[in-house]
Amino acid sequence: MKDIVSKVIRGDSRAIARLITLAENNDPVAAEAMKRIHPYTGKAHVIGVTGVLGSGKSTLIYELTRWYRRQGKKVGVIAIDPTSPFSGGALLGDRIRMSELAGDDGVFIRSMGTRGMLGGLASAVYDVVEILDASGKDVVMVETVGVGQAEVDVIKIADTTLVVVVPGLGDSIQTLKAGMMEIADIFVVNKADREGVDQTVAEVENLVDITSMDNDRKTPVLKTVARDGSGVKELVDEIEKHKKYLKLTKEFEKQRRLRYEAELVEIIRKRLMKLIFDESTFKEKIENLLDKISKKEIDPHSAAEEILSKILK
């Protein structure tokens, strides 16, 4: 697959799909291809969509995609679901809500398992964003796993982060405030046809008032009903406004730098882990050290230092 990179840049679906697989599998071919992909990236607007389980993230992405398609924009969607830490398997069901988009060449949807990554993203997601970007997508949407409080990594990758909440969470919005509520560029109160929506909007706005006190931009709070598409046009407009704001305030460069930093750290982390835990020489060493730790001949900190000193030399 020598020409996989040029095929990806031309927007060939099979080549895009194959390169994503190679990246997910940490294949050395992917690392080489990604080096050549990088110069073609940076044009797509990356939208992160996060929120609690069942808040309607997939349906919202489906509706957003339809709007972008009407504007003639090409769309990439990365839908992440959790990988079981026990079996290593995953059930990826986000396409169910997006199946009406099938057959449209301007839309590419890919489901990913987290494969051991915490924080709501998948380890290869940085590569996948770059691949879709290079393939000519104008908008790339990243749907995180259904999150609780601490899964906030999506801000590292997204230019615009949407946090989706629903009515009826009640006081739980209060408990969410430390993590998820701090990362929103736009709040979306979805399922706004439900009872209690006004209270939810009020609670979110209350939080926004507190958190954006020293900022020049107040985080907007929008109501949507993704199921029938109402409020989605306003959301598209608000995303566009945020994009302009980023460009105007130099926040954009800061945001991109944050993404590259996260990507760099992830690449190094993966390579180091592989170096230490996959190479047979180290495996033996680690087993030895574990024996010694069990017998109290050495402590875990000294053992770690011993392993690190081997790599660093």
Partner 1 sequence: MERKIRVLIAKPGLDGHDRGAKVVARALRDAGMEVIYTGLHQTPEMIVDAAIQEDVDVVGLSLLSGAHMTLFIDVARLLKKKGMDDVLIIGGGIIPEEDIPRLKKEGIKGVFGPGTLCEDIVDFIKKNVKK
Residue of 42, 88, 168, 170 interacting with partner 1 (CB under 8 A): 88
Task: Choose the binding region for partner 1 from 15-23, 142-150, 178-186, 247-255 (rule: CB under 8 A).
Answer: 15-23
CB of 33 to partner 1, least distance (A): 14
- Binding of residue 13 to partner 1 (CB under 8 A): yes
Edge-to-edge strand ranges of the sheet holding 45-51: 107-113, 75-81, 139-143, 45-51, 160-165, 186-189, 221-223
- Binding of residue 96 to partner 1 (CB under 8 A): yes
> At residue 161, what is the residue type?
T
Q: Which of residues 239-268 bind partner 1 (CB under 8 A)?
A: none
- Binding of residue 54 to partner 1 (CB under 8 A): no
Q: Are 121 and 157 in contact (CB under 8 A)?
A: yes
**What is d(CA 8, CA 143) in angstroms, rounded to the nearest whole number?**
22
202 CB neighbour count, 10 Å cutoff: 11
- Binding of residue 269 to partner 1 (CB under 8 A): no
Total interface residues for partner 1 by CB under 8 A: 32
- Binding of residue 69 to partner 1 (CB under 8 A): no
- Distance, C-alpha 234 to centroid of its chain: 23
* Mask for 113-152, x = binds partner 1 (CB under 8 A): x-x-------------------------------------
Residue of 111, 135, 161, 224 interacting with partner 1 (CB under 8 A): 111
Largest interatomic CA distance in the chain: 68
- Binding of residue 287 to partner 1 (CB under 8 A): no
- Binding of residue 53 to partner 1 (CB under 8 A): no
Beta carbons within 8 Å of 163's beta carbon, 6+ residues apart: 50, 51, 180, 181, 183, 184, 186, 187, 188
**What is d(CA 175, CA 59) in angstroms, rounded to the nearest whole number?**
25
Helix axes 251-277, 300-312, angle to 10 degrees: 100
Task: Choose the binding region for partner 1 from 60-68, 81-89, 134-142, 210-218 (rule: CB under 8 A).
Answer: 81-89
Interacting residues toward partner 1 by CB under 8 A: 13-14, 16-18, 20-21, 24-28, 83-84, 87-93, 95-96, 99, 102-103, 108-111, 113, 115
